[in-house]
Structure 1
Amino acid sequence: MSSPIPLSILDLALIGEGESTADALHASVALARKAEELGYERVWYAEHHNMKTIASSATAVLIAHVAANTERIRLGSGGVMLPNHAPLTIAEQFGTLAELHPGRIDLGLGRAPGTDGNTLRALRRDPMSAESFPQDVLELQGYLTGETQIPHVHATPGHGTNVPLYILGSSLFGAQLAAQLGLPYAFASHFAPAALQDAVRVYRERFQPSAQLDEPYVIAGVNVIAADDAETAQRQFAWRRRTFARGIFSRPGQRLSDEQVDALLRSPQAGHVDEMLKHTAIGEPDAVRAYLEEFRTYADADELIVAHQADSVAGRLRSVELLAEAMTLAPR
């Protein structure tokens, strides 16, 4: 029997229909507690802005709250969009988290803004900030290791915490940077699958050992809809497909109606939605396990980070439970 696949969770703190932001944040605590109980490796939260259905914009604040309400599971960002922030600020935030919750904090870093152009301006960021991403990663790393690159500037908290960094990406750029810096690489194949295999190959071929990491380490994103029966799983996938289509085709300030979404999903544009959701495990536990075992080989991944997709908190928690049982995770 093959060894269990390390599994983690990407939690977008989804605000469902008829739910409040507070409901979503309380649900994130419940999900992390369940993940801790069942043996998942970590839970990560993604930075998004100006999205009415996602409550994880203040990533470090959410991590702090969840960490205070759990005991052992690792928590982190998947990721902080570094062009939106000064590296010193992020070092101080995650240094604070590491001091409060030692050995439990991860810092995943992305290069995209995680939002639209108007919101980027509202964040007071220059659209060209992404061009300095490699230098910003090194500056941030220096603050956390205590080897600052800016004379006489130190992160307090942060200095010497050595919070582990992860490079997130969906292209060869992130793969090359992660390899050059000797950092773990997490690929966003749960919504941007096109370059997955090429990026992982480049990362593994070019990896250079570092103080943080001796050998390459790949985390691949995948969607999971595990349910007690196949019919329920397919119904949940249909909901996710419609929700995803509405999210990517609606314009700022203009939410597509149900009729418009249905029309889109009958048009050739549905192919774009289905390609983005290509890596999705759907069904009863045995079917989901078989899919993930094949996907791990396809992605050449050391760990899978799962986005549990369901239209309710109860559905997501049930998916978390069923997947853990199927993959025989060791309870913590």
Structure 2
Amino acid sequence: MTSRIPLSVLDLAPVTQGSSATEAIRRAVDLARAAEGWGYRRYWLAEHHFVAVASSSTPTLIALVAAATEHIRVGSAAVQLGHHRPASVVEAFGTVDALFPGRLDLGLGRSGQRRAEALSAVASGRRVTEPRPEQWVDGLLIPEPFPMEQLLGSPRLATMTRALEFEGAQHQDFADAVDDVIDLLAGRYEIDDLDVRAVPGEDADIEVWIFGSSKGQSAAVAGANGLPFVANYHVSPSTVLEAVEAYRSAFRPSSAPGASGGKPSLTQPYVVVSADVVVADDDATAAHLASTYGHWVYDIRSGHGASEYQDPATAQPLTEQQRRIVDDRVRTQFVGSPATVAERLETLARVTGADELVITSVTHDFEDRKRSHQLLAQEWGLRQG
């Protein structure tokens, strides 16, 4: 079989209809053990709050997964710096690294700052999302972007944000926050000419990653610092190509081998691209298992947040209006037999120039989700063990 780029797993630890957060956490650990055996390179966990996703305390769940596995890299996808101070992030990951050195990926995202900037743009009458027509690029669908203005006005989203932040707190600029994380890891962080040391955290063997969905600040920060970059096709498929291009344009080689500070030594850009997949023995079965994905995305985009993932055997069909809201995400989900999905993933990797792909797969039944990952690993030719 032709050699393919590495595959990794992004787990949202979803709470499915009829289950619980406790079950979702246990399933995350179970899936991580299995993914390690199937040959996946990394196991990343997403940070979400006040929704039917059980990975809200990401460093805690990362520690549990690291303890239950042996060698797979474990990390965050991503810690939202709008909700955390750099010092608390470095201390948390440094604590886990003390027992599992050299296995942690510290993925960082903008979150709170990005939302504040978008709200400011809306208030001043500026567009947040620039409309553009759908296009196909060498076999890859780049859909028309979803207008984020619709989601920004959600009262529930505003309430959840308030619950995560101190009243009156100002968002630290993302570039400055990333610098602080790197400096804390390197032991060179200062405030008013006084050394401030992260204990634990300083000199931890942690790789720092940047996650982004557009050509904006995240891509620029990743490139300027010579850090690896993750472009979110599964969240924002309309902007994946411009995000990757912006990162590559901004890239500057990072520190030499052996340098400290949690920065991997990169002499050239390293791009990971995400994809949402459902794999089953045949296309028809996969389509059935994926048929409530649109319901899940609709709840998110209507401002309610991720709800319990519905059972396709009992879920009511989406209305035409609901389908229009989720069309870009449903059509860019890779659904089918192992051969079907692998072919589409190869297209995604070729068009984006990805060095690695990270896949997320959500189904109502956990055994179907495990099998989705297993079938893809086998088809992709990952080395088992």
Whether the aligned pair in 2 keeps the contact of 1:227 and 1:233 (CA below 8 Å) is yes
Confirm whether residue 176 of structure 1 aligns to residue 176 of structure 2: no
Give ranges in structure 1 of 5+ residues lacking alignment: none
Question: Structure 2 matches for 1:136-147, cutoff 5 A?
Answer: 136-147=177-188
Confirm whether residue 156 of structure 1 aligns to residue 199 of structure 2: yes
Q: Summarize deviations over 1:238-295 as a string: whole Å, max 9, x none.
A: 121222213322547999x99xx9675312x523312134432111111111111011
Change (3 A) 1:193 1:15: same
What is the match of residue 149 of structure 2? none
In the alignment, the residues of structure 1 paired with residue 73 and residue 294 of structure 2 have an alpha-carbon distance, to the nearest angstrom, of 30
Q: Provide the aligned length of Structure 1 versus Structure 2.
A: 327
Q: Summarize deviations over 1:38-86 as a string: whole Å, max 9, x none.
A: 11010111111111x1000000000011111111110000000011011
Q: Summarize deviations over 1:199-237 as a string: whole Å, max 9, x none.
A: 111211221011232210111110110001222100112
What is the match of residue 109 of structure 1? 108
Q: Which amino acid aligns with 2:90?
A: A
Task: Say which is worse superposed, 100-109 or 123-132, in terms of deviation.
Answer: 123-132
Question: Structure 2 matches for 1:125-136, cutoff 5 A?
Answer: 125=166, 129-130=170-171, 132-136=173-177
What is the match of residue 240 of structure 1? 293
What is the match of residue 26 of structure 2? 26
What is the match of residue 325 of structure 1? 378
Residue 319 (structure 1) shift? 0.4
Q: Summarize deviations over 1:113-133 as a string: whole Å, max 9, x none.
A: 399221222223468744511
In the alignment, the residues of structure 1 paired with residue 48 and residue 17 of structure 2 have an alpha-carbon distance, to the nearest angstrom, of 19
Q: Which amino acid aligns with 2:181?
A: L
What is the match of residue 265 of structure 1? 319
Q: Summarize deviations over 1:115-155 as a string: whole Å, max 9, x none.
A: 92212222234687445111011001111122224332110
Question: Structure 2 matches for 1:29-108, cutoff 5 A?
Answer: 29-51=29-51, 53-108=52-107
What is the match of residue 6 of structure 2? 6
**Backbone CA RMSD of aligned residues:** 2.3
Instruction: Report the 3-state secondary structure (helix = DSSP H, G, I; strand = E; otherwise coil) of the residue aligned with 1:13.
Output: coil
Confirm whether residue 303 of structure 1 aligns to residue 347 of structure 2: no
In the alignment, the residues of structure 1 paired with residue 3 and residue 168 of structure 2 have an alpha-carbon distance, to the nearest angstrom, of 44
Q: Which amino acid aligns with 1:218?
A: V
Give ranges in structure 2 of 5+ residues lacking alignment: 116-155, 256-263
Q: Which amino acid aligns with 2:195?
A: H
In the alignment, the residues of structure 2 paired with residue 242 and residue 281 of structure 1 have an alpha-carbon distance, to the nearest angstrom, of 16
Q: Which amino acid aligns with 2:280?
A: A
What is the match of residue 128 of structure 2? none
Whether the aligned pair in 2 keeps the contact of 1:230 and 1:284 (CA below 8 Å) is yes
Q: Which amino acid aligns with 2:204?
A: T
In the alignment, the residues of structure 2 paired with residue 263 and residue 229 of structure 1 have an alpha-carbon distance, to the nearest angstrom, of 22
In the alignment, the residues of structure 1 paired with residue 210 and residue 306 of structure 2 have an alpha-carbon distance, to the nearest angstrom, of 32
Whether the aligned pair in 2 keeps the contact of 1:76 and 1:106 (CA below 8 Å) is yes
Q: Which amino acid aligns with 2:6?
A: P
Whether the aligned pair in 2 keeps the contact of 1:204 and 1:216 (CA below 8 Å) is yes
Confirm whether residue 185 of structure 1 aligns to residue 226 of structure 2: no
What is the match of residue 206 of structure 1? 250
Q: Summarize deviations over 1:287-308 as a string: whole Å, max 9, x none.
A: 1111110111122211111011
Task: Say which is worse superposed, 138-147 or 320-329, in terms of deviation.
Answer: 138-147
In the alignment, the residues of structure 2 paired with residue 197 and residue 298 of structure 1 have an alpha-carbon distance, to the nearest angstrom, of 8
Change (3 A) 1:139 1:250: closer
Whether the aligned pair in 1 keeps the contact of 2:49 and 2:56 (CA below 8 Å) is yes
Instruction: Report the 3-state secondary structure (helix = DSSP H, G, I; strand = E; otherwise coil) of the residue aligned with 2:237.
Output: coil
In the alignment, the residues of structure 1 paired with residue 275 and residue 306 of structure 2 have an alpha-carbon distance, to the nearest angstrom, of 30
Instruction: Report the 3-state secondary structure (helix = DSSP H, G, I; strand = E; otherwise coil) of the residue aligned with 1:298.
Output: helix
**Normalising by the residue count of structure 2, what TM-score does the alignment of the two structures yield?**
0.80
